[in-house]
Amino acid sequence: MQDNSLYEFNDGLSEDALDEDPQSDSILEGLNESQHEAVSAELRNMLIIAGAGTGKTRVLVSRIAWLIKHYHIAPRNIMAVTFTNKAATEMRERLSLMVGNSVQSSLWANTFHSICLRLLRAYAQYAGLVPGFTILDTDSQVSLVKRLMKDMNIDTKEFKPSDIASNISKQKENGIRALAYSKKVSVKSPDYVKVTDRVYTVYEKVCNQENSVDFSELLLRTVELLENNREIRELQHRRFKEILVDEFQDTNSIQYRFLRLIAGPNSHVLVVGDDDQSIYGWRGADVGNMRKFLEDFSDVKQVLLALNYRSTQKILDVANTIIGFNSDRLMEKVLKGNFGEGDKVKILNCANNKVEAATVTDRIAALHDSGVDYRDISILYRNNYLSLDFEQNLLRKHIPFVIYGGQKFFERAEILDAIAYMRILVNEDDDTALLRIINTPSRKIGPKVVEGLRTIASERNCSLIKAIRLLEAHVNSGNVDKTLSSLYKKISVFYELFKALNEKRQNMSLSAFADEMLRMTGLYKYYQEKDFKDGKDTEEHSRYANLGMLISNIKEFEAAPPAEDDSSEENTSESTTEKEKKTEDPLLTYLSNITLVSTGELNEEGGTSNVADAVNLMTMHASKGLEFKYVFLVGFEKDILPSRLCAYSDKSLAEERRLAYVGVTRAKKALFISYAQVRSMFGKSEPTGASSFLRDLVREYKGKQDVPLMIEAVKGYSFY
């Protein structure tokens, strides 16, 4: 540990953050009774159960504003955890309007991953990392796993590297290190478990050597940091007085551990969630954390938000009925709306999937003819493969559409290449980045040359860049070993470029350097020629144009105000850590930011939203958090929803029903639910029919007068 001055805590509040607002009660204006109760509650632990469309974001923002204005809590003493960077940005912007711009730089409003990254940057040496560590995005993680598997002679066709990488991440999210995982493996374990064991052990070692962390490592390493360092943990306890967590039903095991560690004995924790919208169990989310919160935190006040500000009552009646069949709910909530009764939900019983796609497309065309913008319409489906028929019909009708969940901006090859060059410049030990671009564009550095270099690095237990330096020193010493001299001659073209780039970036702005880097490396010319060869040079989003958009993204990053980062500095003295922060490499900061955002929030154009007037196509999972005036829930049928794989597990079946509930509650004005009696799959036509969820829904209203739905048979097929 450094001297205790590092841990001195200044509990004073900045004047601009503490100005008393005599009109602080204006924060409560327009809130309903339940929202008012949540926002103005006394300082204590709280669980807010917020139904779909009940204004939870407004409640969260208003609560933070209330803490600042009414309880005089400084923004820097508040941590707000969101599940997307977009949500965090929106929260800060709304708060700025309510309490002033000071909140933008001092409030910690970030995702779990971003918060953990900030802590690890501040305490890298205590977390077993070298300052300047880089983050492996999903593509880089899979590439590294694939490289290791090939080195270990593991068949990458029999065992997919992406599956092994995913399993490693899953273990980390459960707090299980490689050694602990190995102890669980026996001779009777399945082959994929044994393979994961072998790869995980080496993967962990190589990540440490390359000074890199993957997404799951950010969380696990921070949890271990807080568990193993009492002084650092207690500093955070003194710092964060109020902690608020959004989308709490989606937290996993390691995130819950982090929350318990970051909350001190005098902190208050407010969590907002809806157990009826917990749909990510397949990736580790544990809806049970909501019950654990009531058990593990003292004197928890519960508030239910059930007044819906999104949908008509007919849509809400359908949603309430569907979810009502789940028996594992934390509490029963019946959503009530304030937009009137609305039209009945239309159930389209279609002869087959071709009829379904044609019918939905015709309804969309009719809506547009009546004055509805395409952007206000969405087609939601359980699985991505279901989109094909709709894509073809929309194209046939010349209806514009956007598919969410496709390749994202930072997943494109040209962008990944550019980022790999940046990564090796900030972290010379990042062999995964170097191997991606050492011969891109081609420098005639073939596999044999790379293998020779890797052999030297392995023998000397060093990174590839350091191995090149050893070769350089060997050749410059006058040694005439022809093999080594030949190897260095072939590799030197890349090494000279590497040195030149390092020199260039010392005296240039980040955006200017990035632009020069793309020229010096040849990436601009390389992708311009590829576009021309493939006939894509005139496309708006050609690969060359995407590189230009990357430069624009960097300029936006440069223009953004820096966030206050004082996780380790609570006094005004100039400590070593503080001086380091002031000179932190902007390229490293940029890489950290875009790597976290590239987890899936940027579309193919590098933006965060769809501004084009186009129909939105996406999975029900991807639709969570979104809303559209007109929604078509398609493929609502047997063996699709619920999935055939989930039909025999009560837990999985409950999550599938929650998924259906999420889909229904995306609709604001009108909802269409369609299914096919016969669906063509793998070249064969198979009888399907209505989902069991739909049958339950129809039976529930059979014989009743006030029915929120109507069934329309297309091509004369009966519902049953």
Quick one: angle between helices 586-597 and 112-122, nearest 10? Answer: 160
Gap between the Cα atoms of 43 and 34, Å rounded:
17
Contact 427, 211 (CB under 8 A): yes
Number of neighbouring beta carbons within 10 Å of residue 285 = 22
Decide if pLDDT at 480 tops 80: no
DSSP state of 548: H
Quick one: angle between helices 510-520 and 523-533, nearest 10? Answer: 60
CATH classification for the domain delimited by 410-597, as one of 3.30.230.10, 3.40.50.2020, 1.10.486.10, 1.10.10.10: 1.10.486.10
As annotated, the binding site includes 50-57
Sequence-distant contacts of 368-375: CB under 8 A, at least 24 apart: 368/399, 372/629, 372/630, 373/613, 374/399, 374/400, 374/401, 374/613, 374/614, 374/615, 375/610, 375/612, 375/613, 375/614, 375/615, 375/616
Buried b (16+ CB within 10 A) or exposed e, 620-656: bbbbbebbbebbbbbbbbbbbbbbeebeeeeebbbbb
Decide if pLDDT at 6 tops 70: no
Least confident of 11-15, 224-228, 366-370, 688-692: 11-15
- The pLDDT value recorded for residue 562 is 66
Structure confidence at residue 81 as a pLDDT band (50, 70, 90): very high
Least confident of 90-94, 446-450, 714-718: 714-718
- The pLDDT value recorded for residue 17 is 40
CATH classification for the domain delimited by 317-404+610-713, as one of 3.40.190.10, 1.25.60.10, 3.40.50.300, 3.20.20.140: 3.40.50.300
Please state the rounded mean pLDDT for residues 484-501: 94
Structure confidence at residue 8 as a pLDDT band (50, 70, 90): very low
Decide if pLDDT at 223 tops 60: yes
Quick one: angle between helices 543-559 and 586-597, nearest 10? Answer: 120
In percent, the amount of the chain with pLDDT more than 70 equals: 89
Please state the rounded mean pLDDT for residues 357-374: 97
* Coil, strand or helix at 369: helix
Decide if pLDDT at 7 tops 50: no
**What is the per-residue pLDDT across 380-414, written as a single tens digit (0 to 9) for each?**
999 988 998 999 999 999 999 998 866 677 888 99
Please state the rounded mean pLDDT for residues 299-316: 96
Q: Give the phi and the psi of residue 544 in degrees, each rounded to 5.
A: -65, -40
Number of neighbouring beta carbons within 10 Å of residue 466 = 15
**What is the per-residue pLDDT across 152-202, written as a single tens digit (0 to 9) for each?**
999 999 999 999 999 999 999 999 999 999 999 999 999 999 999 999 999
Question: Highest mean pLDDT: which of 217-221, 404-408, 570-574?
Answer: 217-221
- The pLDDT value recorded for residue 541 is 66
For the chain, the domains span 4-124+219-305, 137-213, 317-404+610-713, 410-597
Decide if pLDDT at 322 tops 90: yes
DSSP state of 5: G
CATH classification for the domain delimited by 137-213, as one of 1.10.10.160, 1.10.1040.10, 1.10.3660.10, 3.40.50.10540: 1.10.10.160
Gap between the Cα atoms of 61 and 50, Å rounded:
14
- The pLDDT value recorded for residue 563 is 63
Q: Give the phi and the psi of residue 186 in degrees, each rounded to 5.
A: -130, 175
**DSSP states of 29-98 as a string?**
TT--HHHHHHHT--SS-EEEEE-TTS-HHHHHHHHHHHHHHTS---GGGEEEEESSHHHHHHHHHHHHHH
Gap between the Cα atoms of 186 and 202, Å rounded:
18
As annotated, the binding site for ATP includes 50-57
- The pLDDT value recorded for residue 433 is 95
Q: Which helix (H) or strand (E) holds 513?
A: helix 510-520
Active site (catalytic) residues:
56-57, 246-247, 277, 666
Please state the rounded mean pLDDT for residues 276-285: 90
Matching residue, tokens 């994961």 = 196
Decide if pLDDT at 565 tops 70: no
Same fold, 4-124+219-305 and 317-404+610-713: yes
The closest of 231, 244, 230, 211 to 121, measured between CA atoms, is: 211
The closest of 158, 146, 196, 157 to 176, measured between CA atoms, is: 196
Please state the rounded mean pLDDT for residues 138-144: 94
Domain 4-124+219-305: CATH class, spelled out: alpha beta
Please state the rounded mean pLDDT for residues 231-237: 97
- The pLDDT value recorded for residue 143 is 95
